[in-house]
Structure formats: structure tokens, C-alpha cells
Amino acid sequence: MAKKLSHGDYTVGWICPLEVEQIAAMEMMDEEHERLPQPPTDHNVYSLGNIAGHNVVIAGLYQPGNSPAATVVTQMRMTFQNLGFGMLVGIGGGVPVKTDNGMIRLGDVVVSKPAGGHSGAVQYDHGKAKVGQFERTGALAPPPAVLLNAAQDLAAKRARSRNDPVDDNIKRIDTSIRGLRKYKHPGRAQDYLYKPDYIHREPGVPCDQCRCDPSQRIQRLASDEDEEPYVVVHRGTIASGEWVVKDAKLRDDLAKEHELLCFEMEAAGVLADFPCIVIRGISDYCDSHKNDQWHEYAAVAAAAYARQLFFHMPINEVKHYISETAEKDIHYVRVRQDDQDRQKILDWLTPVDYGPQQSDYLKRRQPGTGQWLLDSAEFQTWLNTDKQTLFCAGIPGAGKTILTSIVVEELITQFSNDPTIGIAYLYCNFRQKDEQKAQDLLTSLLKQLSQEQPSLPDCVRFLYDKHKEKRTRPLLEEISRTLQAVASIFSRVAIIVDALDECQVSDNCRTAILTEIFSLQVKTGANLFATSRFIPEVIERFRGSKIFEIRAHDEDVRQYLDGRISQSGQKLLQTYREEIMTEIIKVVDGMFLLAQLHFDSVCTKRTLKKLKDVLKNLPTGSKAYDYAYEEAMKRITSHDTDSEELAKQVLSWITCSKRPLTTSELQYALAVEVGEAELDEENLPQIQDMVSVCAGLVTVDEESSIIRLVHYTTQEYFERTQNYLFPRAESEITATCVTYLSFNVFESGFCQTDDEFEKRLQSHKLYDYASHNWGHHARVASILTPEVISFLERNAQPAGPEANDRTAFSRILWG
């Protein structure tokens, strides 16, 4: 019969990010205990038990990531207050380097250990990380001495033992049970390591089922352990962050610089205030080659090692450690709770984060370009003098946004270590009207400046307390006053606003945001850097300020083209490199985007005659963009039928969508088959194909996974030509959305809880977009299609702001 202990009897926490890891952990228990009551604020589900005399609490995560891990640990420690330390046990991505115990292979285990100046784990942050660089954002707690000593003792005894205790622990998994069959060792024949520069051929398809070239695999020498599975353990530094590393070159660069052995996504959230050892079974190599076969075995290998550590920890020493650190731990829990409260308030201000956009734009910069702006007398004066305005106006496609990202990066580089200088920036985008009203833009500036403070300013907490319980949003005047108060804390503040011409004119948004920023400048001495097209009303607002014209410099264009030609690997382009660069530079006339479009046209030519013909007829002048887009459409229509159809679907969806789409949303939208009752995932197009068939007109922002047209002018072109290029786009999008919402999986109707709704959004990628926007597309289409009529007649209707009743639909459709 299972024992029932008290909360205070449990001394060790075991955190499992995934279900497969939780199953493996439970199989390692000597005995299981009855569940205990917990406070209503603790939403975790625990498994309780005992290993080698130590009482253990196992907790899983509702989703992977540092933030969920931090939440789970905080709640667990408030309920089980005698937990002295923890074990974070699961799978991770390995770095194929050689350690004292040999080359890291799939199925091996990596354990955190202080090394190379690190505590055993380091954190990287996707929002703040510089392109191609690893940014350590703070020291993480090292494993407690009792665990480090236990790991060393276990290593010594394994080395001297004929019978491996870790292997014995793996055998506790009864793989004859149906649900545990996958926990078998897959066999060394399934351990593929590809060359770092070889990209997986079919995204989304595991390597054992795709067409990846076997000759690109790295051949590794067999060892004695290959004959019979043996868990090799490597100890050293583990890297933790919010984004998954799937790039072998980036993996190797980071690993070499910081002596990393493994990448994962939860340690930074756990180790901030909980003494813990990180144990990761290696299930992949952090590259583009997906290999799901090793997940279960890697999870059980990590769990088997974790179980064995308990036998090397004296119970009395654990109790002594707990009593010594109890007071300090309670302080850490409180600090963590304060941090969570702080983040909750910042997220309440606005969920918008411009960091991913900053990283994406900066990645598009060719090294060295834009330096002329940073070196200019105008910029240096703006940089070194208070209360300055530098307004940069430019023609469409001149490269204003990339230059803005260069300015932001320059400021962060120079002043990131000076807490007295505040930096906040905005990227205006006409496609994001719903989240870029004047209040939204100001709250984003407020959030950015507030989070640069070591503690949240009182005026921000007051604003939150005033509105949160009433479920109201602050007025523009309140946001403005609070922003001025926070900006006044800094000795200097820089505000950067890109693309004011894309800030919506409706609701007086552009006028309001400029008025408030200028007021902020008067009252706090802030510096303002802004860009826009030559829009008269914008120019008028900056009359009296220094106006700097942005045009693509010939040298920048040359560097860009030289890089593209080198990356292409095409002998014809490299042979005629100078002629190509000279002719394109001659016609771009300050329009950086035009250089990109012209090169996309040139690089498809495979004979010298065709290459010269294209170079001779490159369009220039005010109509050059339309000519370039028309040429791109000609290339699209010259594709095979399937590629042409896919390209037009991608372009029509992006052009007509009511908000920016993620790659997953668009994949699922294109996979929907009108008339079917469920989604066939074999119909999902590959992201690489979605981009490649569009002749350079579509790009993916890697940080945010937003798929978009390459420029504002591209959107304008397709909006002008939509009636003959995509005449049925709105009705087809409507049919797709209502077909998706009519799938059998949604027959249960409304979600009953927030958790249920969140799971629905996670599991069904198009659900959010379809439920919010199908009616808007139907209104533009102005046709009641059979799919819409059938959808409205269904008895069970899915939850969604525009999908709940016919009256709501009528208001949308007919106004």
C-alpha cells in the first residue's frame, strides 16, 4: 500500500519537461506515495515517491521553456518547503565534441558541472542576443556540493565496476509493455551525424524517412561500447535558452567559444534560484536533421543516471544541507515571485516585443554596410548631444529599416553597460494595425524603459493596480505621464521610431504618437531618431529639425551584391561578378530593395547571353519596382503547375491576411482541403518550398517565424493588382477558414476553461486566425459561399470572437 507522508518529508525535487521524461522518472522510483493536498495557487500535478531512502517530488511542465519551468519550480517550492535542491532531468541537443569520455553520441548523458569559468549552465536570451553571438545574461547557480560530490563518486565507482548500476536502472523499464516499447535502445545504426554545412532535405520529415544524402554523414569509428549499449556520461557546461538551436554551424561556433556540451530550454528558469543539477540524455545534434527515434531512450538514460545519484548522497548530509540553506532558499523564492510579478505587469502593458524584429533586420545587413551613417557628422552630433532630433527620410526601398536596426545595435553596443541611459525603439508596420495604435506604441516604449530598471518603477505598479482589477486599459494621457516619469529616471534617453509613414493615419494615430514623443523630448531631453518616406504631413512635423536623406550608397549596394554572388556558388555569376555589380548599381538609383529584386532576376539565368540581356534591360525610375515585380511574377508562372499554384496561394494569403501570419499558420491554411472534415498533415507544404517558389518576393523572419512580403512596396503592388492576379482570394480564404473551423475535432464547441482554450490554440495552428478573421474575409468577398452557409447551419459552433452566432456574422458581413 502506498505511503502517505507530509509535505515537509520531501527533500528532493525532480523536474521533467516532457511526458516521456516524466514516465522514465516514475519508473525509477523504489516506491510511490499517495498524493498530498496543495494550495489553490499551486497548479502543478505531482508524483511522490522514494529512491534510496530519499523522498522525491516529481513535477512535469505544461510546456517547455524557461518561463514555464520557473513557474513550476516556484509553486513546487512553496508547497514543499523542505526541498533542498533539485534535479532537472530530460533530453537535450548534444554537441558532437570529444570529452574525456569520448565523442558525444546519441543516447549519452550530459551532466552540468562548473567548468571554464561557468557554473555548469549558462543562459542565452533570444530577445537580447546579438546576431550570431552568445550573450550570457547572468550567472546561474552551480549544482550544490552534495550533488557534485555524488556525481564524482558515481563516476569513480562505475569505472571500477563490472556490473554497471546505470544499465541496471535502464532495465527497470519493461519494454514489453505496450506504452514503453519505444524506450528500447534504437541501435548505433540509427545514430546519424551529418556534416555541419549539409542541411536536412525535407523539413518536418525525420531523417530516417527522408532523402538526405548518406554520403554527407560523418563516419565515426566504432568502439567496444557500440556492441552493447552503455551510457557514457559527459560532465561540463550546458547552455539554456528560449529558442531551439537547429543550426549545426551556430552550434559549433557557440560550443567552441564557450566549451558547451549540450543545449536545452529549461535550466535557466530553474537555476535562477533553485540549487539544481542538470542531467540531459542526448536525443539529437542541434542541427536541421530531425531524429525522433532517440527521445525515449535518451529520457530513460538520463533518468537512470539521476536515480543512481541518490545512492551516492548520504541522507544525513542532505538534511544538513537543507537546514543550512533553508533561509536563503526562502529568500530566493520570494525574489523569484517578485520577478514573476514584475514580468506579469510588463506583459500587461503590452505583449509586443520588437526584439525579434531587431534581430531579423540586423541579420539581413551585409557586414560593413550603413557605416557611413554612423560616421556622419549628423549622427555623431545626435549621439553626443541631448534633446536632439535626427529625421531620416528616404524613397521606398532605400534601406531605412535596416539602417534603423544598425542605429539600435550601435546604441545597445555603446550603452548596454550603462544603466543611466535608456533605449527604446519601435518598428511601425501597416500590417499590424490592431497592435500599433498610439496607446500601443507608447506602452511599448514604456515597457522597454521600465524593464531596463533593476526594479519596476512605482508609477508603473500604480498604473497596473489602478486598472487591473477593473479590467480597464489606461488612457493615452495616463500612459504619457507614466512614460515621462520613467524616462526622467535616466540621465539620457534615446527613442528610435522606424517607418512613421506606415503608422496608421486613422484614429489620429500618427499625429498622436508624434505629439506625445515630442512632448516627452521637451520634458525629459530625450533624443529622437525617426525614419519615413517623403510624406508631406510627416515632413511638416519635423520642420526645424535636421532632415537627413537616406539613399542606398553605391558601396553598400556593392557589398550586398558581392555577398549574394559569393553565396550563390554559381560559376557564371562569379565569372561576371564586376559586370553584374556595375550594371545593377547603375540603375538602382538609391533604392536598395531594387538591387535585391534585380539580382533575384539575374541569378536565375544560366547562359551568358541571357545574363547580358537581363542586365541590358534592367528597369529604372519610378516604375522600376512594378517592372521588377512583374518580372518576378513571370518567373513564377513559368514554374510547373504545382509550384505556380503554391506561389499564388502563398502570395494571396500574405497579401489579404488581416494580420501577419506565422509560417505554421500559413502551412496549415494551405493544407486545408475544402469539403474535408479533418486536416491531412501529409498535405502540409514545406516552409522552404513556400518561400522558394515565390521568386524572392517572400521572406521569413527567423526570430518571430512571421512569413511576409519582402517590402511595403511589394504589398502595395499586390493590392493594386489583386483583382486580376488573385481575383477569388477573399472567397477562397473564407472557405478555408470556415472549413477549418468545421473540422470534426471542434465539434465539442466552446472551450470550458482557459487551459483547454490554450491547448486548442497550441494544437491547432490556424484556429486563432480563422476564428477571429473568417467573417472579415467573408465581408470583403461579399459572397455567401456554400461553405459559409453550411458553417452557419451547424449546431455546434467553435469558440471565437466572430464564430459564435449568426447575428455577429451579419454585423461583419453587412456592416
Condensed to tens digits (0 to 9), the pLDDT of residues 60-117 reads 987 788 878 888 998 898 899 888 889 999 999 999 999 999 999 999 999 999 987 7
Q: Counting beta carbons within 10 angstroms of the beta carbon of residue 391, is it exposed (0 to 12), middle (13 to 18) or buried (19 or more)?
A: buried
Tell me if 99 is assigned to some domain: yes
Same-domain pairing of 180 and 215: yes
Most confident of the ranges 115-124, 484-493, 531-540: 484-493
Domain match, 117 and 139 both: yes
Tell me the C-alpha distance between 477 and 479, whole Å: 6
Number of domains in the chain: 3
Q: What angle do CA 434, 436, 440 make, to 5 degrees?
A: 105
- Closest by alpha carbon to 46, among 80, 18, 88? 80
Residue 755 lies in a domain: no
Percent of the chain with pLDDT over 70: 88
The predicted-structure confidence for 184-229, as pLDDT tens digits, reads as follows 998 888 888 888 888 877 666 666 667 778 888 888 765 544 555 7
Does some domain include residue 808?
A: no
Question: Is the pLDDT at 615 greater than 80, yes or no?
Answer: yes
Whether 727 maps to a domain, the answer reads no
380 and 305 assigned to the same domain:
no
So what's the pLDDT on residue 473? 92
Helix, strand, coil abundance in the chain, percent, nearest 5: 50, 15, 35
Question: Has residue 166 been placed in a domain?
Answer: yes
| Cα-based distances in Å from 291 to 104, 200, 368 | 16, 11, 38
pLDDT, residue 120, reads 86
Residue 648 has pLDDT above 90, yes or no: yes
- Say if CB 734 and CB 777 are below 8 A apart: yes
Q: Name the most confidently modeled range: 392-401, 418-427, 632-641.
A: 418-427
Q: Are 194 and 289 in contact (CB under 8 A)?
A: yes
CB proximity list for 679: less than 8 A, separation 6 or greater: 668, 671, 672, 740, 743
**Cβ atoms 803, 771 nearer than 8 A:** yes
Check residue 693 and give its pLDDT: 92
The better pLDDT of the pair 646, 624 is held by 646
* CATH number of the domain bearing residue 188: 3.40.50.1580
Convert the pLDDT of each residue in 724-748 to its tens digit: 899 999 999 999 998 998 888 887 6
| Domain containing residue 390 | 356-550
Report if residue 605 sits inside a domain. yes
Residues 348-370 pLDDT 10s: 999 888 888 888 888 888 888 88
Whether residues 289 and 161 fall in one domain: yes
Residue with the three cell numbers 530553474: 270
475 and 363 in one domain? Answer: yes
Residues 439 and 501 in one domain: yes
* Residue 203 placed within a domain: yes
8 Å CB contact between 604 and 570: no
Same domain membership, residue 590 and residue 541: no
- Kindly provide the residue ranges of all beta strands, DSSP E only, lying in 297-428, ordered along the sequence: 389-394, 421-427
The better pLDDT of the pair 269, 166 is held by: 166
367-386 residue pLDDT tens: 888 899 999 999 999 999 99
One domain, residues 523 and 566: no
Once rounded to an integer, what is the mean pLDDT over residues 132-138?
A: 44
Across 640-658, average pLDDT: 93
- Which pLDDT tens digit goes with each residue over 424-477? 999 998 777 667 788 999 999 999 999 988 888 999 999 999 998 888 999 999
Q: What is the CATH number of the domain that holds 474?
A: 3.40.50.300
Q: For position 434, what pLDDT does the model report?
A: 66
The answer to whether 95 and 263 are in contact (CB under 8 A) is: yes
Grid cell for residue 754: 482557459
The pLDDT assigned to 264 comes to 92
Which pLDDT does position 223 carry in this prediction?
A: 53
Same domain, 560 and 526: no
Per-residue pLDDT band at 54 (split at 50, 70, 90): very high
**Residue 97: phi, psi to the nearest 5?**
-115, 165
In three-state secondary structure terms, 9 is helix
Identify whether the C-beta of residue 24 lies closer than 8 Å to the C-beta of residue 88: no
Q: Is the pLDDT of residue 808 over 50?
A: no
Q: What is the mean pLDDT of residues 692-696?
A: 89
Which pairs count as long-range contacts for 367-370, CB under 8 Å and 24+ apart, including other chains?
367/559, 368/559, 369/402, 369/406, 369/556, 369/559, 369/560, 370/399, 370/402, 370/403, 370/406, 370/556
Tell me: do 402 and 522 sit in the same domain: yes
Asked which of 515, 550, 585 is the last residue of a domain, the reply is 550
- Choose the final residue of a domain: 550, 566, 597: 550
259-298 per-position pLDDT tens digit: 899 999 898 888 877 889 999 999 999 888 777 789 999 9
> How many other C-beta atoms are found inside a 10 Å radius of the C-beta of residue 370?
21
pLDDT score recorded for residue 293:
86
Q: Mark which of 505, 526, 550 sits at the end of a domain.
A: 550
Residues 770, 412: Cα–Cα separation, whole Å: 39
Quick one: 524 and 559 in the same domain? no
**Model confidence at 785: pLDDT above 80:** no
In this structure, the answer to whether residues 195 and 295 fall within a common structural domain is yes
752 falls within a domain: no
